[in-house]
Every structure is written in structure tokens, then in C-alpha cells.
Structure 1
Amino acid sequence: MNVIEAHVSRVVDKEGRPSGEVKVQTDDPQCEQVLAYFQHSEDRDYDLVSIVRSDADLLTDWFDNSMHTAYEDITMQWFENESLKTDWGRRETFKQQVLESGQVREDLKRLLR
């Protein structure tokens, strides 16, 4: 999968730490729109914490709808190889594509001070 477009939408709390939520449009027909979450890393860059598929729809989610999962963490699915291990090369490539898209890196730097 490749990143077509990405932009930072807000800062949220993930696991007790501030995280930048990035809306990402991809060329994956099954997950055209995902949310990627980034946190500061120890090497002065950003860690890709998780990727969430958003199936939320105002037509069905304006009430408590148990018919589907509105937000599903797909981090492991996307980057798992045949031996059920994380493909760190693919994960790093995706991370860099998101960070280099538009103003993402600059916006994360500004918001996650």
C-alpha cells in the first residue's frame, strides 16, 4: 500500500502519551482511509504507534450501533508477513511516506511539543 495524501487532524491521548492523529488516504482498495497515530521517539523522530481503520458513518453511527466496528486497529494485519512476524521494512516505508506527505512532519512537530 502507498500513501496518496495525509494530514494531521488532532492530538489525542494514546497509552497515556500525546499522539498525533493523521488521516491517511492510501491506494489500498480495502482501506482507502485510515488513521495513523504518531508519538515522539527517543531518536528525535516519530514512532508509528498504530493504524486504525475507520468504518464510522454518520448515517449509522449517530446512535449506539453494534452492527459493525467503527474503529478497528489494523496495525498487525497491515505489516504482518507470512511467518506472522512484523515486516519492519514495510512498516518503516509506510511511516516515512506519511511523515513526508504535505506538512505532516511539521504539524506533528508543532503539536507534539
Structure 2
Amino acid sequence: MNVVGAHVRRAVNKDGARCGEVEVRTDDPARAEMLVYFSASQDNDYDMHSIVHNDAAAEIDWYDNNMHNAFEEISGNLFESDEMKTKWGEREVFKEAILSFGNVRADLAEIIH
């Protein structure tokens, strides 16, 4: 899964942490659009806090309704092996691809630091 687009949407509070919400587009048809939440980390970078898949059709659910059933938390299983272990290398590559896309890292710095 490759990142083909990413931009910071807004700052939000997610599970008690101040996060930047990043809309991400990928080349994976099954997970073409998702929202990825980043929080500030102790090492002056960002932690990928949460990943949410948006399966809503824009033609039907045209407003930003985060209570919709189409929003599915996929953080736990997106980078999980068959042995139910996290594939940390793949996860870090995905995280860095998002942070390196366009002005994402700079925009996050403006809204969550």
C-alpha cells in the first residue's frame, strides 16, 4: 500500500491526546481513503496514534459524519501478521510516507505543538 496523497485536516482530541487528523489516499482499492491521527512524541517527531478507514460513499454520505458506521478503526490489524504480531517495519514505512508527503510534517507542527 503506497501513499498517493495526504493533507492535514484539523487538530482533534483523540483518546485524551491532542492529535492532527491527516486525510490519506492510497493505491489500495480496499483502503483507498483513511484518516490517520498523529500525536507529538517524546523524540520531537510524531506517533501514529490511530488509523480509521472511511468506507462511506461521497454521493450518499456527502457530509463529514464521523458517527457513521463507515468509519472503522483499523490500527490494530492493518500491520498485523498471520501470527498476530505487529509488522513494525511496514508500519514505520507507512508512517514516514505520510509525514513526508507535501507539507504534512510542517502542518502538524503548526497545529499540535
Tell whether the structures are fold-level matches, with TM greater than 0.5: yes
Q: Aligned with 1:85: secondary structure?
A: coil
- Structure 2 counterpart of 1:26: 26
Residue 79 (1) aligns with residue 69 (2): no
> Which whole-Å deviations, capped at 9, do the CAs of 1:49-99 have from their partners, x for residues lacking one?
11101123462477x9xxx72210011221001211111101000000000
User: Distance between the aligned counterparts of 2:8 and 2:110, measured in 1?
Assistant: 11
Q: What TM-score, normalized to structure 1?
A: 0.89
Distance 1:40 1:82, change over 3 A: same
Deviation at 1:16, TM superposition (A): 1.1
Deviation at 1:25, TM superposition (A): 0.5
**Structure 1: which 4+ aligned runs deviate by more than 6 Å?**
none
> Which whole-Å deviations, capped at 9, do the CAs of 1:19-53 have from their partners, x for residues lacking one?
00000000111010110000001111000011101
Amino acid at match of 1:94: F
Alignment of 1:10-89 (within 5 A): 10-57=10-57, 59-60=60-61, 69-89=69-89
- RMSD over aligned CA atoms reads 1.8
User: Distance between the aligned counterparts of 1:76 and 1:95, measured in 2?
Assistant: 14
Amino acid at match of 1:2: N
* Aligned-residue identity in percent: 47
Residue 109 (1) aligns with residue 109 (2): yes
Paired residues in the alignment total 109
Q: Aligned with 1:30: secondary structure?
A: helix
Distance 1:20 1:83, change over 3 A: same
Q: Aligned with 1:97: secondary structure?
A: helix
Amino acid at match of 1:97: A
Unaligned runs of 5+ in 2: none
